Amino acid sequence: MSDFPIVSTGENVTRQVLSDHPDLMVVAFRFAAEGAVGALHNHPHVQSTYVESGRFRFTLGDEEREVGPGDSFVCASGLTHGCVCLEPGTLVDCFTPRRDDFL
């Protein structure tokens, strides 16, 4: 169980830091409804995403990819990315270095 708060990041989407260190942060993003959106954005952190549950359509730069349970991928620093939830579920993201803006 995480001691970090659950934060709303949009309609039907929450974020919770699971663990962190200056060099690495693990974060759960929970999507409660089909159609919930992880808005397009970019950041200087390298990010890996693991699909714990649900289905999602990701935009990764110029590419679109549908992912489901057990899938994972890496976003390079500066890559514009975002997703639309196709089936409710949870994404587990790791960031290096940590996202100080999430603390």
pTM above 0.95, yes or no: yes
**The predicted structure's pLDDT at residue 72:** 98
Stretch among 1-5, 9-13, 54-58, 84-88 having the lowest mean pLDDT: 1-5
Q: What is the pLDDT of residues 62-80, one digit of tens each?
A: 999 999 999 999 999 999 9
CA distance 44 to 18: 20
Domains of the chain listed by start with CATH number: 7-94 (2.60.120.10)
**The predicted structure's pLDDT at residue 24:** 98
Please count the residues of the chain.
103
Q: What is the pLDDT of residues 6-54, one digit of tens each?
A: 999 999 999 999 999 999 999 999 999 999 999 999 999 999 999 999 9
CA distance 36 to 39: 9
**Which amino acid, 29?**
F
